[in-house]
Amino acid sequence: MYLVVEFLEDPKVYSVISAENVVDGSVRANVADYLGKPTKVIWGKKNFDAVLRGQGSKREMNVMCNSLAKSAAVSDGGSNDNAQQNEIVVTKKISAKRSERAKKSRDIASVLAKRSKSAGVNSSTFNE
């Protein structure tokens, strides 16, 4: 079972989580009784205060989460057209070290690709 939660730290920020991420076991057992009420959820290694907004399958909760986010964007002054045109982008947060290593890897691959192209051009001129 999955839940839609709204984080109390960031109002109008919604997420779909597994029911296993709810800290309180009694809330996990009776989610329907706690809809609309704040509870603690585990997100990564941290606990956050969140309000339960819905329960159901992952697909249903994703649809609900998207509609809540769009309605929040519209109520914040954005128009419905803009909300539909904007892409929903989800990125995985990676550590700074991992990001730096990935950048270095791309740079090295770029240099090697340039070298192989220039080596191919130089070898053909020597054969002529």
> Using CA atoms, how far apart are residues 43 and 55, in angstroms rounded to an integer?
17
Residue ranges of domains in the chain: 2-85, 92-128
65 C-beta neighbours (distance < 10 Å), count: 22
| Dihedral sign computed on CA atoms, order 76, 78, 80, 85 | negative
Which tokens go with 7? 């984080």
Q: What local confidence, expressed as pLDDT, does residue 86 receive?
A: 47
Q: What is the mean pLDDT of residues 64-75?
A: 85
Cα–Cα distance, 78 to 88 (Å, whole number): 15
Q: Is 2 or 95 the better-scoring residue by pLDDT?
A: 2
Task: Report pLDDT digits (tens) over 15-25.
Answer: 888 888 888 88
* pLDDT score, position 92: 54
The CA dihedral of 68, 61, 23, 73, to the nearest 10 degrees, is -20
Banded pLDDT at 122 (limits 50, 70, 90): low
